Amino acid sequence: MARQTPNNTGEILLDAGTNELEVLVFRLGAGHFGVNVAKVREVIRPGRTVHAPGQHRSVIGMFSIRGSVIPVVDLALHLGVEKRWGTGEGAPEGRVIITEFNGIRSGFMVDTVDQIHRMSWQRVRPTPSVHFGGRDANAETLASTTGVIEMGDALILMVDFESVADAILVEKRLHVESVPNEYGVDRGSKRVILAEDSPFMRGLITKVFRNSGYTKLEVYPDGEAAWEAVKATIDAGEKATRIDAVISDIEMPRMDGLHLTSRVKSHATTKGVPVVLFSSLVSEDNRKKGEQVGADVQIPKPELAEMVRLVDRIVSGRATNTRSVVREAA
């Protein structure tokens, strides 16, 4: 039987700008891992899968659910963690976490699913060296995580599902070298601040912006670091270089993108700075949250080329009503 998660109700679970999230904790081998509930559609028992020719080594097979055929990924295998499901008598049956982000639905096989915890993003810290059962987590595991939560005696690693999905599905929209300058913008003179916690996504965004001429792009690993840069500009007054735009992910350790947006828009000096929320979680509910905190534009994360063109329109003054750009870019 499927286990429905709270976000299936269509309600906005968390108030906008409160810097909170809900984490679904699950287990792989001796390790505890987590995923933002906003990405989870449901948790189900494993069913029959069909092998697809040429499928990635981490894919167990294809699975049919509610009229859709989706890949089911052996997450333990992909992360290099010793799995426990299906390995002998007494082993857990396993569970499949059905996720949806970037417009793609996928299944991830895990050992067990624990429970949902509500907490502040301040509790999510950058990923350090982590030990599972007395041994160091391997490079594959750490490269596919965005943060860690200390919960009692356990460390919960937040999985970077975007990087996992890209490694398996090879999203072509995420691999853009550069974008032509259609509007003749002096990109090299524009100061753009980027906040993105995923090393995978941060690298892709940085590459396409700098290759496209935005050489003054400033890159920060979370909302708090980005806010410190904005606050330094505010404190410097007229001596500071103006900020032309802020681009932010929504899910980030320490301070999320909604809280960052709220802070930028709440200060008299920066309230006019355009803020672009760029996330795999752009949905109707999350769009409402973004509007509540004053985000000018919200676009889905895969659209890298569109994001560069969107920033071009904003910094060149061609987007006089940025909320109309949301509809163009969606």
- Return the number of other C-beta atoms located less than 10 Å from residue 327's C-beta: 7
pLDDT over threshold 80, residue 246: yes
User: Which CATH superfamily groups domain 172-329?
Assistant: Response regulator (3.40.50.2300)
Q: Are 305 and 179 spatial neighbours (Cβ–Cβ below 8 Å)?
A: yes
Quick one: average pLDDT of 272-296? 83
Give the phi and the psi of residue 113 in degrees, each rounded to 5: -115, 130
pLDDT value of position 273: 94
Q: Where are the alpha helices (DSSP H) in 144-198?
A: 161-169
According to DSSP, the residues that pair with 278 across neighbouring strands are: 299
Residue 139: strand, helix, or coil? helix
Split at pLDDT 50, 70, 90, the class of 12 is very low
**Is a pLDDT exceeding 70 seen at residue 279?**
yes
Residue 47 predicted with pLDDT over 60: yes
Dihedral sign for Cα atoms in the order 162, 123, 36, 300: negative
Structural class in CATH, domain 3-169: mainly beta
pLDDT digit string, tens, across residues 114-140: 989 998 888 888 766 544 444 444 555
| pLDDT given at position 177 | 84
pTM here is 0.73
3-state secondary structure of 230: helix
Asked if domains 3-169 and 172-329 share a fold, the reply is no
The per-residue b/e assignment along 133-169, b for 16 or more CB within 10 angstroms, e otherwise, is eeeebeeebbbbbbbbbebeeebbbbbbbbbbbbbbb
Q: What residue spans define the domains of the chain?
A: 3-169, 172-329
For strands 275-279 and 297-300, give the pairing.
Answer: parallel
| Structure confidence by residue, pLDDT tens digits, 305-321 | 888 999 999 998 876 44
pLDDT of 66 = 82
pLDDT at 197: 87
- Check residue 8 and give its pLDDT: 41
Give the pLDDT confidence score for residue 82 in this predicted structure: 72
155-192 pLDDT, tens digit each: 899 998 888 877 776 555 566 789 999 999 999 999 99
